[in-house]
Amino acid sequence: MTALTRARHRAAIEALAAEDADLAAIVDRHGPPAFRSRPAGFPTLLYIILEQQVSLASAKATYDKVLALVEELTPAAYLALGDDTLRAAGLSRQKLRYTRLVAEAIEAGDLPINGLQRKPDDEVRTLLTAITGVGHWTADCYLMLALKRPDLWPVGDLALVKAVQAVKGLAERPGPARLEELGERYRPYRSVATQLYWHHYLNA
Protein backbone atom coordinates (compact mmCIF):
# COMPACT_ATOMS: atom_id res chain seq x y z
CA MET A 1 0.00 0.00 0.00
CA THR A 2 1.14 3.56 -0.72
CA ALA A 3 2.79 5.27 2.24
CA LEU A 4 3.70 8.88 2.81
CA THR A 5 7.37 9.77 2.57
CA ARG A 6 8.97 13.02 3.72
CA ALA A 7 9.06 14.23 0.13
CA ARG A 8 5.40 13.37 -0.55
CA HIS A 9 4.43 14.92 2.79
CA ARG A 10 6.17 18.17 1.86
CA ALA A 11 4.59 18.20 -1.61
CA ALA A 12 1.13 17.52 -0.13
CA ILE A 13 1.48 20.47 2.27
CA GLU A 14 2.32 22.73 -0.67
CA ALA A 15 -0.61 21.42 -2.71
CA LEU A 16 -3.11 21.75 0.14
CA ALA A 17 -1.92 25.25 1.00
CA ALA A 18 -2.30 26.28 -2.64
CA GLU A 19 -5.92 25.09 -2.66
CA ASP A 20 -7.03 26.28 0.79
CA ALA A 21 -6.12 29.74 2.05
CA ASP A 22 -6.89 28.76 5.65
CA LEU A 23 -4.36 25.94 5.53
CA ALA A 24 -1.87 28.29 3.87
CA ALA A 25 -2.36 30.65 6.81
CA ILE A 26 -1.48 27.87 9.26
CA VAL A 27 1.78 27.26 7.40
CA ASP A 28 2.53 30.99 7.24
CA ARG A 29 1.88 31.40 10.96
CA HIS A 30 3.48 28.27 12.39
CA GLY A 31 5.60 26.83 9.59
CA PRO A 32 4.91 23.42 8.02
CA PRO A 33 4.14 20.55 10.40
CA ALA A 34 6.86 17.98 10.88
CA PHE A 35 6.58 14.63 9.15
CA ARG A 36 4.92 12.60 11.91
CA SER A 37 5.42 8.87 12.06
CA ARG A 38 5.87 6.06 14.56
CA PRO A 39 7.23 2.54 14.09
CA ALA A 40 4.60 0.01 13.04
CA GLY A 41 3.92 -2.67 15.63
CA PHE A 42 2.47 -3.46 19.03
CA PRO A 43 4.25 -0.68 21.02
CA THR A 44 2.76 2.05 18.84
CA LEU A 45 -0.73 0.54 18.92
CA LEU A 46 -0.51 0.32 22.71
CA TYR A 47 0.70 3.94 22.87
CA ILE A 48 -2.24 5.15 20.77
CA ILE A 49 -4.69 3.34 23.06
CA LEU A 50 -3.05 5.05 26.04
CA GLU A 51 -3.63 8.40 24.29
CA GLN A 52 -7.39 7.88 24.15
CA GLN A 53 -9.20 10.67 26.03
CA VAL A 54 -6.17 11.86 28.03
CA SER A 55 -3.49 14.50 27.51
CA LEU A 56 -0.46 13.64 25.39
CA ALA A 57 1.79 14.26 28.38
CA SER A 58 -0.17 11.85 30.57
CA ALA A 59 -0.13 9.13 27.90
CA LYS A 60 3.61 9.51 27.36
CA ALA A 61 4.31 9.28 31.09
CA THR A 62 2.36 6.02 31.31
CA TYR A 63 3.96 4.63 28.16
CA ASP A 64 7.47 5.42 29.44
CA LYS A 65 6.71 3.61 32.71
CA VAL A 66 5.52 0.55 30.78
CA LEU A 67 8.68 0.59 28.64
CA ALA A 68 10.79 0.61 31.80
CA LEU A 69 9.14 -2.63 32.95
CA VAL A 70 10.37 -4.81 30.07
CA GLU A 71 13.53 -5.32 28.05
CA GLU A 72 11.48 -5.31 24.84
CA LEU A 73 7.82 -4.35 24.58
CA THR A 74 6.39 -7.40 22.81
CA PRO A 75 2.85 -8.76 23.24
CA ALA A 76 4.21 -11.76 25.18
CA ALA A 77 6.29 -9.59 27.51
CA TYR A 78 3.33 -7.29 28.10
CA LEU A 79 0.99 -10.18 28.92
CA ALA A 80 3.54 -11.46 31.44
CA LEU A 81 3.20 -8.26 33.48
CA GLY A 82 0.76 -8.38 36.37
CA ASP A 83 -2.34 -6.20 36.54
CA ASP A 84 -1.15 -4.49 39.72
CA THR A 85 2.17 -3.65 38.06
CA LEU A 86 0.45 -2.09 35.05
CA ARG A 87 -2.04 -0.17 37.18
CA ALA A 88 0.88 1.20 39.17
CA ALA A 89 2.36 2.39 35.87
CA GLY A 90 -0.78 4.44 35.28
CA LEU A 91 -3.12 2.24 33.24
CA SER A 92 -6.79 2.49 34.08
CA ARG A 93 -8.72 -0.73 34.52
CA GLN A 94 -10.39 -0.15 31.16
CA LYS A 95 -7.18 0.51 29.22
CA LEU A 96 -5.52 -2.43 30.93
CA ARG A 97 -8.26 -4.64 29.51
CA TYR A 98 -8.08 -3.12 26.03
CA THR A 99 -4.31 -3.37 25.73
CA ARG A 100 -4.30 -6.96 26.97
CA LEU A 101 -6.94 -7.86 24.38
CA VAL A 102 -4.74 -6.36 21.66
CA ALA A 103 -1.69 -8.30 22.88
CA GLU A 104 -3.75 -11.51 23.05
CA ALA A 105 -5.10 -10.98 19.51
CA ILE A 106 -1.57 -10.58 18.16
CA GLU A 107 -0.31 -13.62 20.04
CA ALA A 108 -3.27 -15.70 18.80
CA GLY A 109 -2.71 -14.62 15.21
CA ASP A 110 -6.06 -12.85 14.96
CA LEU A 111 -4.31 -9.51 14.41
CA PRO A 112 -1.38 -9.94 11.98
CA ILE A 113 0.33 -6.78 13.19
CA ASN A 114 3.41 -7.23 10.99
CA GLY A 115 1.35 -7.80 7.87
CA LEU A 116 -0.89 -4.75 8.09
CA GLN A 117 1.40 -2.72 5.83
CA ARG A 118 0.32 -4.90 2.89
CA LYS A 119 -3.42 -4.50 3.50
CA PRO A 120 -5.74 -1.70 2.30
CA ASP A 121 -7.05 0.88 4.75
CA ASP A 122 -10.53 -0.64 5.10
CA GLU A 123 -9.17 -4.11 5.86
CA VAL A 124 -6.72 -2.75 8.43
CA ARG A 125 -9.53 -0.81 10.08
CA THR A 126 -11.77 -3.90 10.17
CA LEU A 127 -9.04 -6.04 11.76
CA LEU A 128 -8.23 -3.42 14.38
CA THR A 129 -11.79 -2.47 15.32
CA ALA A 130 -12.73 -6.13 15.76
CA ILE A 131 -10.86 -5.90 19.07
CA THR A 132 -12.78 -4.41 22.00
CA GLY A 133 -11.37 -1.00 22.89
CA VAL A 134 -9.98 -0.27 19.43
CA GLY A 135 -12.36 2.17 17.79
CA HIS A 136 -12.18 4.08 14.53
CA TRP A 137 -10.11 6.88 16.08
CA THR A 138 -7.44 4.44 17.26
CA ALA A 139 -7.46 2.59 13.94
CA ASP A 140 -7.20 5.79 11.93
CA CYS A 141 -4.34 7.12 14.05
CA TYR A 142 -2.48 3.82 13.61
CA LEU A 143 -3.05 3.93 9.86
CA MET A 144 -1.86 7.52 9.71
CA LEU A 145 1.11 7.45 12.08
CA ALA A 146 2.42 3.89 11.88
CA LEU A 147 1.46 2.86 8.35
CA LYS A 148 1.84 6.42 6.99
CA ARG A 149 -1.32 6.21 4.89
CA PRO A 150 -1.99 9.51 3.10
CA ASP A 151 -5.78 9.78 3.15
CA LEU A 152 -7.10 9.43 6.72
CA TRP A 153 -9.57 11.93 8.20
CA PRO A 154 -10.33 10.93 11.84
CA VAL A 155 -13.70 12.59 12.36
CA GLY A 156 -13.82 11.37 15.97
CA ASP A 157 -10.68 13.27 16.93
CA LEU A 158 -11.58 16.17 19.24
CA ALA A 159 -8.45 18.17 18.37
CA LEU A 160 -9.37 17.99 14.68
CA VAL A 161 -12.95 19.01 15.41
CA LYS A 162 -11.87 22.01 17.49
CA ALA A 163 -9.22 23.06 14.98
CA VAL A 164 -11.60 22.90 12.00
CA GLN A 165 -14.15 24.97 13.91
CA ALA A 166 -11.54 27.62 14.78
CA VAL A 167 -9.75 27.72 11.42
CA LYS A 168 -12.96 27.78 9.39
CA GLY A 169 -14.72 30.19 11.75
CA LEU A 170 -17.71 27.90 12.30
CA ALA A 171 -20.33 28.94 14.85
CA GLU A 172 -20.66 25.36 16.16
CA ARG A 173 -18.40 22.34 16.33
CA PRO A 174 -18.89 20.28 13.17
CA GLY A 175 -20.44 16.86 13.67
CA PRO A 176 -19.09 13.75 11.93
CA ALA A 177 -21.22 14.22 8.80
CA ARG A 178 -20.27 17.87 8.42
CA LEU A 179 -16.61 17.07 9.06
CA GLU A 180 -16.68 14.31 6.42
CA GLU A 181 -18.14 16.80 3.97
CA LEU A 182 -15.46 19.39 4.77
CA GLY A 183 -12.71 16.79 4.42
CA GLU A 184 -13.67 15.74 0.91
CA ARG A 185 -11.79 18.67 -0.61
CA TYR A 186 -8.52 17.39 0.87
CA ARG A 187 -8.47 14.00 -0.89
CA PRO A 188 -6.11 12.23 -1.53
CA TYR A 189 -4.09 13.86 1.27
CA ARG A 190 -6.53 14.10 4.14
CA SER A 191 -3.89 12.73 6.54
CA VAL A 192 -1.70 15.72 5.78
CA ALA A 193 -4.66 18.10 6.10
CA THR A 194 -5.36 16.51 9.50
CA GLN A 195 -1.77 17.17 10.54
CA LEU A 196 -2.08 20.80 9.44
CA TYR A 197 -5.17 21.22 11.60
CA TRP A 198 -3.41 19.47 14.50
CA HIS A 199 -0.49 21.85 13.95
CA HIS A 200 -2.87 24.77 14.45
CA TYR A 201 -4.43 23.18 17.52
CA LEU A 202 -1.07 22.53 19.20
CA ASN A 203 0.26 26.00 18.48
CA ALA A 204 -2.86 28.14 18.93
pLDDT digits (tens, 9 = 90+) for 144-166: 999 999 999 998 888 999 999 99
| Closest residue by Cα to residue 66 from 47, 92, 48 | 47
In angstroms, the Cα distances linking 95 to 21, 45, 91, 130, 159 are: 40, 12, 6, 16, 21
pLDDT at 54: 87
pTM for the whole structure? 0.90
Regions of the chain with pLDDT less than 70: 1
Q: Looking at residue 55, what is its pLDDT?
A: 87
Q: What is the CATH code of the structural domain delimited by 6-36+152-203?
A: 1.10.1670.40
Give the pLDDT score at 125.
96
Note the pLDDT of residue 1: 67
* pLDDT of 52: 87
Domain ranges of the chain: 6-36+152-203, 42-145
pLDDT of residue 94: 96
156 closest CA partner among 2, 64, 48? 48
Contact assessment for residue 194 and residue 145, using Cβ atoms and an 8 Å cutoff: no
pLDDT of residue 19: 97
* CATH architecture for segment(s) 42-145: Orthogonal Bundle (1.10)
